[in-house]
Amino acid sequence: MLQTVLDASPRTDAAAAQDVHVAAYRFMLLARLLDDKFAALYRAGKIHGGVFLGRGQEALSVSVGISLKKGDVFAPLIRDAAGRLAFGETVLDAVRTYLGSSLGPMRGRDGNVHRGKPQEGYLPMVSHLGAMISVVNGVLFARRYKKISGTVGAACVGEGATSTGAFHEALNQAGVEKLPLILIVANNQYAYSTPTHFQFACDSLADKAAGYGVEVQTVDGTDLGACLKVVGEAVARARRGGGPQLVVAELLRLCGHGEHDPNDYIDPKLWESPLGRDCLKVAEEYLLRQKWMAPSRVAILRNEIIREIEEAVAQVQREPAPDPFVEQWHSIATGHLNEGNEER
């Protein structure tokens, strides 16, 4: 969310661009270092279940989180640590979910990337790909029904999810209802191990937009400036009443599907191609070239972030784990209608 960055008195366009880039870069670096920490904790056997990283997708992801405002809706997916942080998630809540703290938003009932706070517009993903898009539609539909205007909702998916029925149904639904949905597709060239030619037969995923009557833009997902511009404009168009927006970003997943995945199926030529550029490095070089940040400032920032992450991990490791004897084991809100847990 940007207003914290831009709330200051009017500034020139260049100065504003600098502020946004610097803020975005900070979230990208935070996400990268947080991901690195989760990977290290995973290798050390400190995390139950899997770890899924967003390495190489931070520029796109942060552009979504930073383009949204308080009151907007965000349904991130597995590679969106940067977007989540930019949307307002705290490092503590991310760490709590990965480490299963009972104080985290999911209280150990769900873990890793399955986290959110629905009451704050931050929707917690279910695993089933494509399934969150229509939920965003529903929030936006209800907002319109309640005559709340000016808010938008963004959902993120990978190119693999574009093959699901849920993707099709939801994008069509958003088109029919003209909802202010921004659907971000990160084409990172592989869905787990499946290359794109087994996933879709059109030239570009952008071709799909016409079939739903939605606007579409493509963007180089390794270029922070381009992502900020394209995603920011899509969000602005949706906010102005322009209807659903599709954004297709081309990039490469610079990690395994999860940390368990050796990732050896990726075509080596892709690493050398422009798609294989590390968006974090690209952004950093740009900031330095523009003299928007000094090298010393980058080093200080990195140290600050590492300290923040280490403190969060240390704190969460002292927090109570969920206790099965305290857990209510209630799956529905209407207390007396829960069943099945009595000692029969």
Partner 1 sequence: MSLTYLEAIREAQAHALRDDPRVFIYGQDVGAFGGAFKATKNLAQEYPGRVLDSPISEDAMVGLAVGAAIEGMRPIIEMQFADFSTVGFNQIVNQAATLFWRTNVPCPITVRLPFGGTSGSGPFHSQCIEAIYAHYPGLIVLTPATVEDAYAMLLEAVALDDPVIFCEHKFLYYHLKADELPSEALPVGKARISREGRDLTVVTYSAMVHEALEAARELSGEGWEIEVVDLRSVKPLDTDTVVASVARTGKLLCVGESWPWGGVTAEIISRVTGEGFGLLDAPPQRLNAKDTPVPYHPNLWAAHRPTARSVASAARNLLRS
Residue 119 partner contact from partner 1, ligand TPP, none using kind-dependent CB cut-offs of 5 to 8 Å: partner 1
Choose which of 166, 270, 288, 306 interacts with partner 1 (CB under 8 A): 166
Nearest to residue 122, comparing CAs of 97, 139, 146, 141?
139
**DSSP-based three-state secondary structure for 315:** helix
At position 48, the amino acid (one-letter code) is H
Choose which of 119, 197, 268, 296 interacts with partner 1 (CB under 8 A): 119
Nearer to ligand TPP, 87 or 190 (CB): 190
Binding to ligand TPP (CB under 6 A) within 267-306 occurs at none
Choose which of 104, 111, 160, 244 interacts with ligand TPP (CB under 6 A): 160
Count of residues of this chain found to bind partner 1 when the rule CB under 8 A is applied: 47
Residue 161 interacting with ligand TPP (CB under 6 A): yes
Choose which of 78, 86, 133, 157 interacts with partner 1 (CB under 8 A): 133
User: Residue 84 class from Cβ within 10 Å (0-12 exposed, 13-18 middle, 19+ buried)?
Assistant: buried
d(CA 151, CA 24): 21
Nearest to residue 86, comparing CAs of 20, 159, 33, 135?
20
205 φ/ψ angles, rounded to the nearest 5 degrees: -60, -20
**DSSP assignment letter at 218:** E
Residue 128 interacting with ligand TPP (CB under 6 A): yes
Residue 323 interacting with partner 1 (CB under 8 A): no
Residue 132 CB partners (closer than 8 Å, separation 6+): 75, 77, 123, 125, 126, 155
Q: Are 137 and 179 in contact (CB under 8 A)?
A: yes
DSSP H or E run through 75: strand 73-75
Residue 6 CB partners (closer than 8 Å, separation 6+): 16, 19, 20
Residue 169 partner contact from ligand TPP, partner 1, none using kind-dependent CB cut-offs of 5 to 8 Å: partner 1
Number of other CB atoms surrounding residue 271 within 10 Å? 12
Nearer to ligand TPP, 157 or 283 (CB): 157
Shortest spacing between CB 270 and partner 1, in angstroms: 32
Nearer to partner 1, 291 or 336 (CB): 336
Both tokens assigned to 129:
């790909």
Stretch that binds partner 1, among 83-91, 183-191, 300-308, 324-332 (CB under 8 A): 324-332
Nearest to residue 182, comparing CAs of 135, 216, 131, 142?
216
Stretch that binds partner 1, among 111-119, 219-227, 253-261, 277-285 (CB under 8 A): 111-119
Q: Are 305 and 30 in contact (CB under 8 A)?
A: yes
Nearer to ligand TPP, 129 or 135 (CB): 129
Residue 178 CB partners (closer than 8 Å, separation 6+): 243, 244
Nearer to ligand TPP, 159 or 220 (CB): 159
Choose which of 46, 192, 204, 267 interacts with ligand TPP (CB under 6 A): 192
At position 69, the amino acid (one-letter code) is K
Residue 76 interacting with partner 1 (CB under 8 A): no
Stretch that binds partner 1, among 31-39, 168-176, 189-197, 276-284 (CB under 8 A): 168-176
Residues at the interface with ligand TPP (CB under 6 A):
78-79, 127-129, 157-161, 164, 188, 190-192, 253, 257
Residues at the interface with partner 1 (CB under 8 A):
105-106, 109-110, 114, 116-119, 123-124, 126-128, 131-143, 145-146, 165-166, 169-170, 172-173, 176, 330-334, 336-340, 344
